Amino acid sequence: MRRLLLAAVLAWSASTAAAEDWPQWRGPRLDGSSNEKGLPLKWSADENIAWKAPLPGIGHSSPIIVGDRVFVTTCLVEQKMLEKPRQLICIDRVTGKVLWQREVVRSPLEPKHGLNSYASATPAADESRVYVTFLRSRPMKKDDVKVPPNIRPDEKALTLWQTVVPEMVLACYSMQGKKLWEKVPGRFYSRHGFSNTPILHKNLVIVNGDQDATAYIAAFEKTTGEEKWRIDRPQRTRSYCVPLIAKAGGRTQMVLTGSMGVDSYDPDDGTLLWHQDGPTEQYVASPVYGSGLFFMTAGFPTYHNWAVRPDGRGNITKSHVVWHEKANNLKAAYVPSPLACGNLFYMISDTGNLSCFEGKSGTRLFMEKLGNHHSASPVLADGHVYLTDDKGTTHVVKAGATFELVSQNPLGGECYSSPAVSGGQIFIRTNHALVCVGKQ
């Protein structure tokens, strides 16, 4: 019996050692891909579930997993107080037990879009620290500059911003829940709310501050919080794209849509590498890299799918756009980010239409209807694409140039966050719970 138990423990240890963490938005490569094998293909609210952990408050941030810990954020909107607590929660990934929860900021509720939440920014973590962002609206002081003249608020937001200053807060915690440092990268004005997710690169934690005022991207040293570089974003337009960092065109690039265009920077120092004008104004979906191309989908007020070569310098609008499709809200996405798989690109529109493109030509190989509305970004793992709709049903599609639906898996709760994958399990955050799908 002891030998059998030892063999089981050794086998579990070996599989855990080979498992891949999901340490930030869209996973270890910021592109929604996982190297995990043997993931579950079928489940329901009471079948093939390892555990279900109730979560306080409401948040649309996605879970991340580092080692034996899962992190999510939430806002305790139900508390009867003017200033609502925003929290970082640490959960044991084996049992689903809450290990600790910390109040990061306490602030009045900001204006937001109906599909946004007050805890939409996904945390990021390395082996020893976890990083989180929230919006904090502090009382305006006598010497504070008033509302910037170039922003475009609605009446409710403008009234609020006469008395408070909305500012981004970036905080760092230890794995044991001790706050190590806190920084304010700058103010943040957007009538659609806040969802500006931090990402990690080498010794840096990077945040995107695209907004309807003085916009910026800033990088901070992970251990001390010291600011290392800052980028001015000239168009002063709200966008919510999480940058993609990838090796492309013989160099490491940080690429994002927003500020009325597409930009590539050197993530080590913030140097601009190339810029593409347009093709629209506002963006949410992150880009992906595949087939030797960056693929983007957007946006507002017009919809587009397009791909650019990564080896440009300066303004590449007329020289490096390989293909471009002006589309509509059925054929392009505003919120969900796309996937790259071999020579294919996948895109799920907000309206629930899954499209597959041949990467180099942009030829649409199929378009099929899934859920009625999708906010979550899809995940690619072990030859399958996982797509969770707003009703909490995850559609599993076999990766390939032809459409093959494998399963539809309802959890019975609304879901606006993206799945995370680690250790042969799938972690899905609904409005009121975190669900671990797969074997215990």
For 82-128, write each residue's pLDDT tens digit.
999 999 999 999 999 999 999 999 999 999 999 999 999 999 999 99
Token duo for residue 303? 């919809």
Torsional class of 352: left (φ above 0), alpha (ψ -120 to 50), beta (otherwise)? left
> Residue 13: what pLDDT?
44
Task: For 185, list phi and psi in degrees, rounded to 5.
Answer: -60, -30
- Residues 6 or more apart whose CB falls under 8 angstroms from that of 416 comprise 60, 115, 117, 375, 376, 390, 431
Of the chain, the percentage scoring pLDDT greater than 70 comes to: 94
Cα distances from 314 to residues 40, 171, 317, in angstroms, run 45, 34, 9
Which runs of consecutive H residues, i.e. helices, occur in 65-166?
A: 155-160
> Residue 152: what pLDDT?
64
Cα distances from 7 to residues 3, 176, 396, 424, in angstroms, run 6, 31, 33, 19
> Residue 144: what pLDDT?
86
> Residue 291 in contact with residue 284, Cβ under 8 Å?
no
Say how far apart CA 26 and CA 134 lie, in whole Å: 19
E-state strands within 140-192: 164-174, 179-187
Task: For 426, list phi and psi in degrees, rounded to 5.
Answer: -115, 130
- Residues 6 or more apart whose CB falls under 8 angstroms from that of 114 comprise none
Nearest to 239 by CA among 256, 253, 218, 219: 256
The SS3 assignment for 4 reads: helix
Q: What is the CATH number of domain 23-437?
A: 2.130.10.10
> Residue 182: what pLDDT?
98
> Residue 9: what pLDDT?
44
> Residue 153: what pLDDT?
59
Nearest to 253 by CA among 190, 316, 173, 331: 316
> Parallel, antiparallel, or unpaired for β 64-66 and 227-233?
unpaired
pLDDT, tens only, 314-328: 999 999 999 999 999
Flag residues of the chain having pLDDT under 70. Answer: 1-18, 149-155
Residue 245 belongs to what H/E stretch? strand 244-248
> Residue 76: what pLDDT?
97
